[in-house]
Amino acid sequence: MANILCIGAGFVGGPTMAVIAKHCPEHRVVAVDINAAKIAAWQSDHLPIYEPGLKEIVLSARGKNLFFSTEIERHIAEADIIFVSVNTPTKTFGQGTGKAADLQYWEKTARQIVESSSSSKIVVEKSTLPVRTAEAMERILNSNEKGLFFDVVSNPEFLAEGTAVQDMQNPSRVLIGGRQTPSGQKAVQAIVDIYAHWVPRERIITTNLWSSELSKLAANAFLAQRVSSINAIANLCERTGADVTEVAHAVGTDTRIGPRFLRASVGFGGSCFKKDILNLVYLCEFYGLNEVAAYWEQVVRMNEYQQASFVSKMVTAMFNTVAGKRVAIFGAAFKAHTSDTRESPALAVCRKLLEERAHVVITDPYALESARADLHDVAEQVIFEPDPYAAARDAHAIAVATEWPQFAELDYAAIYETMVHPAFIFDGRNILDHKALYDIGFNVYAVGKPPLTHFESSNPAS
């Protein structure tokens, strides 16, 4: 039996510990957090995050071998293995502002581990961290005067929101990096043994510490780069008459490339992609690799361009002004099936439309509360409307910013009747039936496709 602790019971720490507890009934698993309200929520029937399948797992293990607590010192003292998944946001001050990871919570946690420990332990980096953070952590942890030794292991998470439990239960791979010393290898093996309870051994990859830390940043950079690549091609499609869905299909059927993450869009969002790429950029600059840094930075720049060009396309199409016009944004979440709006392109579109002095109404099935919090500085200029039909009423345009499947199921003929004419639809996720919308009377602009408009100067559908 081992005592497993996780410091940071957030989006990553909570689901990770729940799944470990489910599959390792002989271990005692505790998740602690400085946020008492969050811990109270983990102990209640209203968990602090929604992920499909999570509640069932938490309810079946909680009180048996899964516990949530704010007593950080006590649980550190009792633990054999400590996962750390506190947040590592982008720095907003000082050296590396806007790019480097802010490691203050990590360092504070490391010092707290040393202070509260009276036995040697394994410390697992679960948060995404810059390469070689483990080295700094080892120094802080092992410069204690108690004669204790801490092995630092890297075990990055690859959970996507909306599928976190599934990703954890059936991972494409688990990555565990450690020192090549006997003690380091023993620590790696201890973490391998946890995952081997439910993950086939061939999917558990062990590497050196630095490869593991870097692989996490590289994986997110590659995923984001695919989205920026297809969005770059989408811009060219709009100028040349090519259709980005057809191009993505043709490109993605090459088995060397593969079909996933090639959906052209108004841009990628979420808490990880931008943060991790900028972190990678900062690392490259730190090592004097300025060309490498510029290469990866362009993935983020392309994403910003994509959001800006979407709004600029709207303004141009709507006779060069949206000032005073009601515009309904369909979707606030950064992707479908989540209430998370962090770095959501929908909110970027909202802000840009406000700058153009449009009257913005935003609708979303789950993310309006979070959108209101993120848009707090401009919230009095925005209408938050849960009903998409009400949002579109009297609007000049609809902009689809999140790929919620329910947006494709709406009665657009009825919506068209309630809108100001000529009515526009800008489909930033390519989820609607564009020909059907055109036939209803809409002027339709998708991403990476020729527009379908009823104006004489443009090419109508044929």
Which residues are near ligand UDX by CB under 6 A?
7-13, 33-35, 38, 85-88, 105, 108-109, 127-128, 157-161, 220, 223, 227, 261-263, 265, 268-273, 334-335
The least CB distance from residue 390 to ligand UDX, in Å, is 25
Give the Cα separation of 434 and 430 in Å (integer). 8
Instruction: Evaluate the omega torsion of the peptide bond into residue 422 and state whether it is cis, within 30 degrees of 0.
Output: yes
The least CB distance from residue 10 to ligand UDX, in Å, is 2
Rank residues 261 and 305 by Cβ distance to ligand UDX and give the closer one: 261
Active site annotation includes 284: no
Rank residues 322 and 350 by Cβ distance to ligand UDX and give the closer one: 350
Q: Do 57 and 18 form a contact (C-beta atoms < 8 A)?
A: yes
Catalytic member of 6, 24, 237, 272: 272
Name every residue whose Cβ is closer than 8 Å to that of residue 63 and which is 6 or more positions away in sequence: none
User: Which residue's Cβ has the minimum distance to ligand UDX?
Assistant: 10
Give the Cα separation of 149 and 145 in Å (integer). 10
Rank residues 188 and 227 by Cβ distance to ligand UDX and give the closer one: 227
Question: CA 32 → CA 60, 88, 326, 421, distances in Å?
Answer: 19, 17, 46, 55
The least CB distance from residue 30 to ligand UDX, in Å, is 13
The least CB distance from residue 103 to ligand UDX, in Å, is 11
400-415 as b/e: b if 16+ CB within 10 A? bbbbbeebeeeebeeb
Rank residues 334 and 424 by Cβ distance to ligand UDX and give the closer one: 334
The least CB distance from residue 177 to ligand UDX, in Å, is 15
The least CB distance from residue 391 to ligand UDX, in Å, is 20
Rank residues 157 and 213 by Cβ distance to ligand UDX and give the closer one: 157
Give the Cα separation of 302 and 291 in Å (integer). 16
Give the Cα separation of 211 and 336 in Å (integer). 32
Question: CA 385 → CA 134, 340, 364, 371, 372, distances in Å?
Answer: 46, 17, 8, 11, 11
Rank residues 7 and 165 by Cβ distance to ligand UDX and give the closer one: 7
Rank residues 150 and 268 by Cβ distance to ligand UDX and give the closer one: 268
The least CB distance from residue 246 to ligand UDX, in Å, is 15
The least CB distance from residue 283 to ligand UDX, in Å, is 15
Rank residues 86 and 194 by Cβ distance to ligand UDX and give the closer one: 86
Question: CA 73 → CA 30, 62, 77, distances in Å?
Answer: 12, 21, 6
- Catalytic residue list: 272
